């Protein structure tokens, strides 16, 4: 049975090849013009996954379903626009039996699926919720936003809080943006692997990220010598 993963089309070829080598066929999100350039092909802007239910924004839904079909893929209702918060309806983070987002702006189809599955909602003020949380397993995550950390620590989560701003890049044009990338878009869980899009050592002050992931018995895939880039994560479908 084929396994698919959705990625930002701008991903470096060495990273694409690594995903292929561990058994995935790639679905590359093309750059869209209804959001700002840095996030124009970010998976976590156009798609979300709640348990095994994948909800897609209209501009990517038909292309993706024509390639892979699937009864677990749904058309979202929100149409994304460039100005925040009109770009965040699908940026929901699912950790175990919790969904984390600013639920004032969540896509209605996503909300309906959350309710139907009995997922507990955790409301936060940060609309880029999935961008800001690197999910490591069903109860573990890494965050750099203190407000998110202060909210999640009151739940049954295993949270690593980084009290520094990691050097994560965002793409713009043929180079990097002046904006900072976010950790949830640069570190993704896929199968039993945690993939870091770049060299983990470049963002891992004191080795705390590597130690945290190791304590959860996850394999780390990273790319020695490369800058760490926020691609909006990846999503297995």
> Tell me: the pLDDT tens digits for 72-86?
999 999 999 999 999
pLDDT on residue 19 = 98
Mean pLDDT of the chain: 96
Structure tokens at 33: 């013009």
pLDDT on residue 1 = 79
Long-range contacts, stretch 151-155, CB < 8 angstroms, 24+ apart: 151/122, 151/124, 152/100, 152/122, 155/98, 155/122
- pLDDT confidence of 68, banded at 50, 70, 90? confident
pLDDT on residue 37 = 97
Q: Is pLDDT at 69 greater than 90 in this prediction?
A: no
Q: Please write the tens of the pLDDT for every residue from 116-172.
A: 999 999 999 999 999 999 999 999 999 999 999 999 999 989 999 999 999 999 999
Q: Please write the tens of the pLDDT for every residue from 19-54.
A: 999 999 999 999 999 999 999 999 999 999 999 999
Structure tokens at 84: 């925040």
Print burial letters for 84-108: b (CB count within 10 Å at least 16), e (below 16). Answer: eeebbbbbbbbbbebbbbbbebbbe
The alpha carbon of 2 is separated from its chain's Cα centroid by a whole number of angstroms, namely 22
The residue-averaged pLDDT of 94-99 equals 97
Q: Is pLDDT at 71 greater than 90 in this prediction?
A: no
β-sheet bridge partners, residue 10: none
């Amino acid at each position: 049975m084929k396994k698919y993963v959705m990625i930002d089309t701008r991903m470096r070829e060495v990273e694409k090849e690594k995903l292929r080598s561990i058994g995935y066929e790639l679905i590359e999100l093309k750059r869209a013009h209804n959001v700002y350039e840095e996030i124009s092909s970010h998976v976590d802007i156009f798609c979300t996954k709640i348990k095994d239910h994948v909800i897609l924004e209209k501009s990517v839904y038909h292309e993706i379903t024509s390639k892979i079909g699937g009864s677990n893929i749904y058309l979202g209702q929100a149409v994304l626009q460039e100005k925040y918060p009109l770009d965040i309806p699908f940026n929901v983070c699912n950790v175990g039996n919790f969904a984390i987002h600013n639920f004032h702006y969540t896509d209605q189809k996503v909300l309906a699926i959350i309710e139907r599955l009995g997922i507990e909602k955790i409301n936060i003020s940060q609309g880029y919720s999935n961008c800001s949380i690197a999910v490591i397993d069903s109860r573990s995550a890494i965050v750099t936003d203190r407000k998110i950390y202060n909210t999640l620590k009151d739940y049954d989560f295993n949270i690593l809080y980084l009290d520094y701003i990691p050097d994560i890049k965002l793409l713009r044009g043929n180079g990097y943006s002046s904006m900072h990338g976010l950790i949830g878009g640069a570190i993704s869980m896929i199968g039993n692997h945690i993939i870091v899009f770049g060299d983990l050592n470049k963002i891992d002050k004191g080795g705390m990220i590597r130690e945290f992931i190791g304590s959860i018995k996850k394999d780390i895939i990273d790319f020695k010598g490369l800058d760490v880039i926020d691609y909006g994560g990846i999503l297995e479908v």
